[in-house]
Copies of this chain bind each other. A is one copy, B any other.
Amino acid sequence: MDFDLTDEQRLLKDSVDRLITERYDFESRNKYRAEPEGWSRALWEQYAELGLLGLPFPESYGGFGGGPVETMIVMEAFGRGLAVEPYFATVVLGGGLIHQAGSEEQKSALLPQIASGEALLAFAHVERQSRYDLANVTTRAHRADGGWRINGEKSIVLHGDVADQLIVSARTSGSPSDRAGIGLFLVDAKDVTRRGYPLQDGLRAAEVKLDDARAEPLSNPEGALSVAEQVVDAAIGALCAEAVGVMQSMHELTLDYLKTRRQFGRPIGDFQALQHRAVDMYVALEQARSMALFATMMAAEEDPAERRRAITAAKAQIGRSGRHIGQEAIQLHGGIGMTMEYKVGHAFKRMTMIDIMFGDAGAHTEELARLGGLFGT
């Protein structure tokens, strides 16, 4: 047990932190969001140069052989800056699926392209009725002309509006909630109809319609659910790290505000009731940070049940801490916190969306309860 970063990790952290500090102040972020795709292609190139886009892939695929800790470092920094680039969609989810489920050929073709910034990916799994259940898939894939074709509709595909390739979950057999009979397919974005739109937090997504779209299976087309779950669990760990960055940013903004805003002749941070609430926010932040570490530690755990218990507990904690910190951050800021002109409200919205993604705190607490909890079982 050792919480210290290695020299390489320290170097990585310093460079990402510097990037975010220098290039991701609130005004810059507003500029990036105003660009045509809603994020910065220039920064994306810089991420590629820094090696961030290939970070988690083996060196043989143009990557840097990083693990969950490296991803955590990057995601937490992105969280602090409320970065809007499609890193999570392309590298963590898309790259993760290719890396874990793809054939040698697919990996060799796609991972270097991701690492260099040439290819953007997106994971199309949500359907209108699916809520947070990866197994709830009605989109269907069938064989045709020696290949595969997909029919169906996918919803809220994160950064699906810009992705070059989509990874689509589709049913090859069975009925909507069966665990068996689900495949993951690579689909070229040119072969689908899509409609992009902003999400509540300023990131973007797309509705995707697949009308006999040509598809190439990743992994086993009949039984890809468990590999999808594994990648999603690791991605949730990354999302937890991002959330910690978002929370820390909200807490720091609140502290700054308490120290500088004056009312009744003194900084409002002099008021003990507000001090104690800032402390409770801090405790919630540290609890969240601890669980993000726990998720990172367990992201590569081989026993899927153990992994799931840890990930679901972490996501629940992140959701609860994030809600508490976000709501208190707005409240302690007062009116200014409610405006688009100030960063804290944007962080609150990002945090709210992170809570929803892959299941909110309530859904994960419910799942953990079903799995028997964490202790003494």
Residues of A within 8 A of B (CB): 271-273, 275-276
Q: Bound complex: CA of A271 vs CA of B276, how far in Å? A: 11
Q: Bound complex: CA of A271 vs CA of B273, how far in Å? A: 8
Q: How many copies does the complex hold?
A: 2
Q: Bound complex: CA of A48 vs CA of B26, how far in Å? A: 75
Q: Bound complex: CA of A145 vs CA of B276, how far in Å? A: 72
Instruction: Report the minimal beta-carbon distance from A87 to chain B, rounded to whole angstroms.
Output: 41
Q: Bound complex: CA of A272 vs CA of B272, how far in Å? A: 6
**A271 cross-chain contacts in B, Cβ below 8 A:** 272
Sorted nearest first, the 6 A-B pairs with minimum C-beta distance are A272-B273, A272-B272, A273-B276, A273-B273, A271-B272, A273-B275
Chain B residue nearest to A271 in the complex (CB): B272
Q: Bound complex: CA of A175 vs CA of B271, how far in Å? A: 62
Q: Name 6 interchain pairs, CB-CB below 8 A, sorted by A.
A: A271-B272, A272-B272, A272-B273, A273-B273, A273-B275, A273-B276
Q: Bound complex: CA of A58 vs CA of B276, how far in Å? A: 55
**A275 cross-chain contacts in B, Cβ below 8 A:** 273
Q: Bound complex: CA of A273 vs CA of B271, how far in Å? A: 8
Chain B residue nearest to A270 in the complex (CB): B272
Instruction: Report the minimal beta-carbon distance from A233 to chain B, rounded to whole angstroms.
Output: 32
Q: Bound complex: CA of A271 vs CA of B272, how far in Å? A: 7
Q: Bound complex: CA of A258 vs CA of B271, how far in Å? A: 18
Q: Bound complex: CA of A275 vs CA of B272, how far in Å? A: 10
Q: Bound complex: CA of A271 vs CA of B270, how far in Å? A: 11
Chain B residue nearest to A274 in the complex (CB): B272
Q: Bound complex: CA of A272 vs CA of B273, how far in Å? A: 5
**A272 cross-chain contacts in B, Cβ below 8 A:** 271-273
Chain B residue nearest to A275 in the complex (CB): B273
**A273 cross-chain contacts in B, Cβ below 8 A:** 272-273, 275-276
Instruction: Report the minimal beta-carbon distance from A282 to chain B, rounded to whole angstroms.
Output: 15
Q: Bound complex: CA of A275 vs CA of B273, how far in Å? A: 8
Instruction: Report the minimal beta-carbon distance from A242 to chain B, rounded to whole angstroms.
Output: 32
Q: Bound complex: CA of A271 vs CA of B275, how far in Å? A: 11
Q: Bound complex: CA of A94 vs CA of B272, how far in Å? A: 51
